[in-house]
Chain A
Amino acid sequence: MIHPIQTAVVNRDGSVVFCVIKNMIQVFRWDQTKSEFVAAGQWVDDEDSSNAIKKKVSEEQQRQRAENEAKRRKIEDDAAESETAKRSRRHKDAKVPVPGAGAPPVYNHVRNLALSRDEKLLYACTDSDKALVVFALDFDKENCLILQKRQPLPKRPNALTTTQDDKQVLVADKFGDVYSVDARGSDVVDVSKGNLEPILGHVSLLTAVAIVCDADGKQLLVTADRDEHIRLTHYPQTYIVDKWLFGSKQFVSTLCVPEWGTNLLFSAGGDNFVSSWNWQSGELVDALDIDELVNPFLGDAQLAPSKFQDESNSLVEYAVSKLVTFSNLPYVAFFVEQTRALFICKVDPLVGKLMLVQTIEMSLNIVSLSSALSADSIMVTLDHRDSENAHLAAFITWDGTQFSVDGEKNISFHNCITEKLHEDPVASTEAQDIYPLYSVATLRKRAEN
Chain B
Amino acid sequence: MKAGMSLDDPSSKRQAYRLKKQENRQELKHVRIDPSASSEKIDLPRKRFYRQRAHSNPFSDHQLEYPVSPEEMDWQKLYPHFFDEATSKMTKEVTIADIGCGFGGLLIDLSPEFPENLILGMEIRVQVTNYVEDRIIALRSNNAATNGYQNISVLRGNAMKFLPNFFRKSQLEKMFFCFPDPHFKQRKHKARIITNTLLSEYAYALKEGGIVYTITDVLDLHQWMVKHLEEHPLFDRLSTEWEKNDKCVQIMRHATEEGKKVERKKGDKYVACFVRLPNPTIM
Contact = CB atoms under 8 A, between A and B. Distances in A.
Interface string A203-234: 11000000000000010000000011101011
A249 B68 CA distance: 7
B200 A200 contact: yes
Interface stretch (B86-94, B191-199, B217-225, B237-245): B191-199
A247 B233 contact: no
A449 B195 CA distance: 25
B195 A201 contact: yes
B83 interface: no
A240 B234 contact: yes
Nearest to A197: B196
Interface in B58-75: 58-64, 68-71
Interface in A231-272: 231, 233-234, 236-241, 243-244, 246-247, 249
B271 interface: no
B282 A237 contact: yes
Interface in B1-50: 2-4
Given A198-B196, A233-B200, A241-B203, A449 B190 contact: no
Interface string B173-202: 000000000000000001000011111110
A447 B164 contact: no
Contact of A203 (B62, B68, B198): B198
Interface string B257-283: 000000000000000000000011011
Interface string A42-66: 0000000000000000000000000
Contacts of B117: none
B82 interface: no
A372 B180 CA distance: 50
Nearest to B63: A447
Given A218-B282, A234-B282, A243 B169 contact: yes
Given A233-B200, A241-B201, A241-B204, A447 B62 contact: yes
B69 A237 contact: no
Nearest to B126: A449
Interface in A131-177: 175-177
B59 A203 contact: yes
Contacts of B59: 203
Given A239-B234, A448-B61, A200 B197 contact: yes
A445 interface: yes
A381 to B, nearest CB: 31
A446 interface: yes
Nearest to A198: B197
B165 interface: yes
Nearest to A246: B69
Given A246-B68, A449-B2, A240 B198 contact: no
Given A200-B200, A447-B62, A237 B68 contact: no
Contacts of B251: none
Nearest to B160: A203
B81 interface: no
B227 interface: no
Contacts of A202: 161, 197
A449 B3 CA distance: 8
Interface residues of B, number: 39
Interface in A45-98: none
A236 B283 contact: yes
Of A204, A231, A246, A447, most B-chain CB atoms within 10 Å: A246
A391 to B, nearest CB: 39
Contacts of A240: 200, 203, 234, 279-280, 282
A228 B233 CA distance: 28
Contacts of B4: 449
B72 to A, nearest CB: 8
A240 B3 CA distance: 38
Nearest to A60: B187
Contacts of B200: 200, 233, 238-241
Contacts of A203: 58-59, 158, 160-161, 190, 198
A204 B161 contact: yes
Of B190, B200, B201, most A-chain CB atoms within 10 Å: B200
Contacts of B162: 227
Contacts of B164: 229, 231, 244
Nearest to B235: A239
Contacts of B161: 202-204, 227
Contacts of B2: 449
B12 to A, nearest CB: 18
A244 B67 CA distance: 13
Contacts of B165: 246
Contact of A218 (B158, B280, B283): B283
Contact of B61 (A177, A241, A445): A445
Nearest to B61: A445
A449 B198 contact: no
A237 B283 contact: yes
A446 B61 contact: yes
B254 interface: no
A21 B275 CA distance: 52
B209 to A, nearest CB: 16
B62 to A, nearest CB: 6
A419 to B, nearest CB: 47
B63 A448 contact: yes
Contacts of A247: 68-69
B98 to A, nearest CB: 19
Interface in B125-151: 126
Given A233-B200, A241-B201, A246-B69, A175 B62 contact: no
Nearest to A175: B190
Contacts of B69: 244, 246-247
Interface string A106-135: 000000000000000000000000000000
Nearest to A218: B282
A449 B63 contact: yes
Contacts of A236: 283
A201 B192 CA distance: 13
B282 A239 contact: no
Contacts of B58: 203
Given A198-B196, A237-B233, 14 more contacts: A177-B197, A201-B195, A201-B198, A203-B58, A218-B282, A234-B283, A237-B282, A239-B199, A239-B232, A240-B234, A241-B200, A241-B204, A244-B164, A249-B68
Q: Which 6 A-B pairs have the closest CB atoms?
A: A201-B197, A246-B69, A447-B63, A241-B204, A203-B160, A445-B61
7 contacts: A203-B190, A203-B198, A241-B201, A249-B68, A448-B60, A449-B2, A449-B63
